[in-house]
Chain A
Amino acid sequence: MLMTAMEFAQFPVLSVILFSTILALVVILLIPDDRPQLVKQVSLGFAAVGLALCLYVYFAYDTQKGGLQFVERVLWVKSLGIYYFLGVDGINVPMLLLTAVVLFTGVLTMWELERRVKEYFALTYLLVAGVYGVFMSMDLFFIFVWYDVSLFPMYPLIAIWGGTRKEYGAMKLTLYLLAGSVLILPGILYLWAVAGAHTFDLFELQRMGFDVNVQRIAFLMLYLGFGVLAGVWPFHTWSPVGHVAAPTAVSMIHAGVLMKLGAYGILRVGMTLCPDGLVYWSDLMALLATIGIVYGAFVGLAQTDLKYVIGYSSVSHMGIVGLGLATMTVDGINGAVFQMFSHGVMTALFFSAVGYIYDKTHTKMIPELGGLSKTMPKASAFFIIAAFCGIGVPCMSSFWAELLVFISAVKTYPIRGILAVSGLVVSALFMLRVVQKTFYGEKNPRWEHIPDVPLSLASPRIILVGILVFFGLFPRLILDVIQSAVIPFVNSL
């Protein structure tokens, strides 16, 4: 038994996960246009393989040992010091699992897609390849390249399959994110040049250490650059607009995974390489995060479009991630990473639930819906459960994340922490308001003919709910993994 495990560890499982998505992309492109069903089946198959492998990595990751595992490191361009360097630690293992879960459920959610099926799934796989690449790579060059790979497909995905104001949303999103990467690239190159060691290897650079002033400049660039993608206030306005415009599963992947990419970038690149820069800017980070938490909730109160509501709740929840990172404590970063995971699952559930409702009613305006619980109790239940998770009801996974973040935030930044905690009341108010206006009330005769969601279509949502509740009841299963990376990380700060 031990032997097989050892042998399997030699197997380049991370590369397989990464290249399976590219293989999927190629295979999907080779399928003839007139067989959309086959495209979906192939997509689902590859997603399932990815999920299985990510689950394997998640459970095979040795939390006792900690550190980087499943490492694959090959020198790629010698003159520049670029390495093909994949590895996982406690921080990105949950992210990989999240990506796989969201991809799998996203494919299931789009099962009823009819327009340009092949192109849609091909672009999705391109997007996911970028996401996996960023999460796995430990080389700055590859992180940046994969990062841009993941940004590019968003534009066609939104502009072709999108909904409300899709061109505007797609353009705004793309411009914002590219502006972010315009800041990241010089940041990375600056660090590379200052180090002068001709290496893009993250850990070699970390060992080298940088001058305080260099760190301050570089951290600010990286923070703002990645922060745009993480929805840091005041660079958040692309997120609601983009989510509203995007098709369901793209919103799921985007809000669920891509926004985490930003936070992950801040943590993995910015905070790892520039700890002193972090110390210098942490006050600003905490301030922006707190504003984001409270602000997102208040603006959410005024929205009338279901997807806008979710978009602003994402702003608020990503603020919690930012606040956790800014505390620079084990609890705070634990909570932040946990929140990245649970928020990913939660928003995926949100968008997935809205997706079904929108597909059937062709509206997502709250005043037009109303009383949906009567006609489609199951479809409504999924949204309501996600809303509870968003409010921070205990025994749902995001509760634990918020708990950890808030405890350490009040400890580190008392006033901002208290403000952020008070934001919980507003977020409860705005979530419950939406739930009430959309799902409660008299039966709306307009939607009476709509069937409730059948089991086959409900399956992605069931999986997501299951994950939320499972990690809510047994938080140690994920927290111990996260912690195995965060404790050494904080000690090295």
Chain B
Amino acid sequence: MMWLAKDPVLLAASACATLPFVSMVVILIFTRRYRSMSAAISISAIAACLLSALYLLWTLRHAPEPVQYQWAWIVSNDMIIPFGFLLDRLSLLMLTIVAVIAFLVQVYSLGYMAGDPGFSRYYAFQSLFAWAMMTMVIAPGMLQLYIFWELVGLASYLLIGFYYEKWSASQAGKKAFVMTRLGDIGFFLGIIAVLLGFGDLGILSMNEAAQAHRIAPSVVTLSALLIFCGVVGKSAQFPLLTWLPDAMEGPTPVSALLHSATMVAAGVYMMSRIFPFFAASPDAMAVTLFIGTVTMLLASTMAMVAYDIKQVWAYSTISQLGFMVMALGAGGYFAGVFHLTTHAGFKALLFLCSGIFIHEYHTNDMREIGRGGGRKLIIPMVCMTVGALALSGIFPLSGFFSKEAIMGVLAAKPNKVWLVAGLLGALMTAYYSFRLIFMILFPRQPAHHDAAHQGTGHDDHGHEAGHHGATFWAMAWPVMILAGITLVLGFFHKDLEHFLLGAGPAVHEAEFHGEGAGHGLGHYVLLFSAVSLALGGIVWAWLEFGRKGAAQEGFLRRYPKVEALFANRWYIDHAYRWLLDHLVYGGFTNLFTRNDRRVIDGAIDGICRFTVGGGRVVSFLQSGMVQYNLVLMVAGVGAVILFFVL
């Protein structure tokens, strides 16, 4: 252990990669009965990780070269799978994001999960997630990344299905696991393709080799596309996007941490991790851009008609992930990562605020919350508005800067379709987020009901504040911190850009197109149009939901077919259901089961029956009379003798 103490960087990295795991094991084995102890263990582990992450970020902020540690995890012949840490600017940034949000969410959960019978289990799974996520982020090789990627998926499964007595929750967990697994098959095959075509799975060497065109272009394209399947699964891109809204069955802090801020962003992170590799294949980039755009638009339309507050944010997460994938696909490395960063902040904020409402009013329906007097909860209401503004991309919140960066990248594309799609997305984003805000702020409900409801809502609040003061503040503080981050993060735009792009010339080059065209007059036109579209979306939402006497019925009400299409997620789930029923259960399973019963077992049983039947037939010769047997025997012997004599 001496070597650990000598190298504080290694010590800090190892802390991130072990402490939460230890915490999980300890909680599961020893402290399941002692709730507060479990929470304390888990939170102190994540706090230590947070400190380590900040320390690493601070110490290595000027490091010219990535710091890398590796040990052989398994060695099979000449294949070595290492376990280790790769600490460069990207991974440090992501590590910090994960640690900060995981820490805040775990603190928040103290309030949100208070009194839940599975409290200790919850913290154990949270630790599992933190461990897997952080070790994934600092993975130096694709296989380690894949391994922890899968473990993150496991944590997601366990946390989505946390309320396992609820059928829909366990169903959602299963769906999430299987759908991401579908993408991961592609990811795994992509890794094998890299292994076979190139031979080294180290992230740095892969990037370098792809950049220097030392890998055959066909290999790069094939493996990049296969690896992108993993992104499609984990980051809920089209066509594997429907698991994410279902994943909202999990506790709200889980949705905030896993299914908006960090885990689903893992796909985007992985893509930026091997961005130069992707960038070496224009075909793969084109596919990426296309998928990202489709996802972004589809998810935005779904969000426009949802009434479940968490569903809206879930669709919005999908569409923002689509934005990030678009940015990366268009060659905007920084834009993608920056949006990932800001999105992690404001989306966690939005979810955590919604969590407070849900905790208070025991409903997910935004109309109910509005009627219940949601606006009386000042802190979450204000914070949620801040988050919604950031999501819509309004100056000076963090979302503004990152969205501008993406628009800049898209504008640099010769084909303006992508830019138009992006602007349309921005408009819809502003519309659906403020639709939600206005519905909670200005509840539209008969007056007779109003007073009573408001009263109880108020009472509840007072009750909560008086009785569970600590509970409420455990939830409020993280929310306020996140709101603060959302407010100021945008101004570090240039610093972050400098920090990330200082990383290496390789990334810089890929960035070149995007940044070059972003400046100048076109830049201001673009900036203006994006902001005005976002404002337009807000005004539109105001006209339909906010102003006095507004019907609070979206314009889509007038097109019931379209509304049904959006509300049913473009019937993607129906298609999956159909495939599952007809292809898997009705098709192969049925066929194979019958084959087992009829053909294989039938043949075997047939042989047995034939044997038994043959025995029956032959047994007619057995009359049971000893003397008949004797006669036959004598005859037989006689025959043998005759045979030999003659």
Q: Do A and B assemble together?
A: yes
Residues of A within 8 A of B (CB): 172, 175-176, 234, 237, 295, 298-299, 301-302, 329-331, 334-335, 371, 373-374, 388, 393-395, 399-400, 403-404, 406-407, 410-411, 418, 421-422, 424-426, 428-429, 432-433, 436, 439-443, 475-476, 479-480, 483, 487
Q: A237-B596, A393-B150, A404-B76 are in contact. Are A373 and B164 (CB under 8 A)?
A: yes
Residues of A contacting B600 with CB < 8 Å?
234, 237
- Kindly specify which of B184-192, B257-265, B523-531 makes contact with the partner chain: B184-192
Are the C-beta atoms of B185 and A425 separated by less than 8 Å? yes
Smallest CB separation, A429 vs chain B (Å)? 5
Q: CA A175 – CA B601 in complex, angstroms?
A: 13
Chain B residues 158 to 182 lying within 8 A of chain A, measured CB to CB, are 161, 164-165, 167, 170-171, 173-174, 177-178, 181-182
How far apart are the CA atoms of A436 and B161 in the complex, in Å?
Answer: 10
Q: Which residues of B contact A298 (CB under 8 A)?
A: 584, 588-589, 592-593
The chain A residue with its CB closest to the CB of B605 is A172
Q: In the complex the two chains form, is A440's CB within 8 Å of B177's CB?
A: no
Closest 8 CB pairs of A and B: A330-B77, A440-B170, A394-B147, A440-B164, A432-B174, A301-B589, A298-B588, A302-B593
A176 / chain B contacts, CB cutoff of 8 Å: 604
CB of B118, distance to nearest CB on chain A (Å): 9
Mask of B209-228 contacts with A, CB within 8 angstroms, 1/0: 00000000000000000000
Since A172-B604, A436-B161 are in contact, a sample of 14 more A-B pairs with Cβ atoms closer than 8 Å, ordered by chain A residue number, is: A176-B604, A331-B76, A335-B76, A373-B165, A399-B150, A400-B74, A407-B195, A410-B189, A426-B584, A429-B174, A429-B584, A432-B157, A440-B167, A475-B73
Partner of A295, one of B79, B585, B592: B592
Q: B-side binding surface: helix, strand, loop or mixed?
A: helix
CB < 8 Å: which of A175, A406, A439 contacts B192? A406
Measured CA separation A299–B592 after assembly (Å): 6
Residue pair B196, A331 in contact (C-beta under 8 Å) = no
Complex CA distance for A373 and B189, rounded to whole angstroms: 35
Chain A residues with CB under 8 Å of B165's CB are 371, 373-374, 440-443
By a CB distance below 8 angstroms, the chain B residues around A428 are: 177-178, 181
* Nearest Cβ on chain A to B605's Cβ, whole angstroms: 9
Q: Pick the most buried of A175, A298, A480: most chain B CB atoms within 10 A of its CB.
A: A298
CB neighbours of A436 from chain B (8 A): 161, 170-171, 173-174
A432 to B178 Cα, complex, angstroms: 9
* Residue from the list B76, B185, B585, B596 in contact with A421, Cβ < 8 A: B185
Size band of the interface chain B makes with A:
35 or more
B76 touching A301 by the CB < 8 A rule?
no
Alpha-carbon separation in the docked complex, A278 to B182 (Å): 33
CA distance A338 to B421 in the complex (A): 51
Q: A298-B584, A421-B188 are in contact. Are A237 and B604 (CB under 8 A)?
A: yes
Chain A residues with CB under 8 A of B147: 394-395, 399
Contact digits for B620-636, partner A, Cβ 8 Å, 1 yes 0 no? 00000000000000000
State whether B77 touches A418 (Cβ < 8 A).
Answer: no
Q: Is A441's CB under 8 angstroms from B167's CB?
A: yes
Contact, CB under 8 Å: B181 / A299: no
Task: Kindly state the separation between the CA atoms of A249 and B550 in the bound complex, as whole angstroms.
Answer: 70
Residues in B with CB closer than 8 Å to A440 are: 161, 164-165, 167, 170
A462 nearest CB neighbor, chain B only: B29
Q: Give Cα A439 to B174, complex, Å.
A: 13
Q: Which of B148, B174, B589 contacts A299 (CB 8 A)?
A: B589
Given contacts A439-B164, A440-B164, contact A476 B195 (CB under 8 A): no
Query: Can you spell out 29 A-B residue pairs with CB atoms less than 8 angstroms apart?
Result: A295-B592, A298-B592, A299-B589, A299-B592, A302-B589, A329-B77, A399-B147, A399-B150, A406-B188, A406-B192, A407-B192, A410-B189, A410-B196, A421-B189, A424-B181, A425-B178, A425-B182, A428-B178, A429-B174, A429-B178, A432-B173, A436-B161, A436-B170, A436-B174, A440-B167, A441-B167, A443-B165, A476-B74, A483-B76
B591 to chain A, nearest CB (A): 8
Contact B170 A302 (CB under 8 A): no
Please, which residues of chain A bring their CB within 8 A of the CB of B150? 393-394, 399
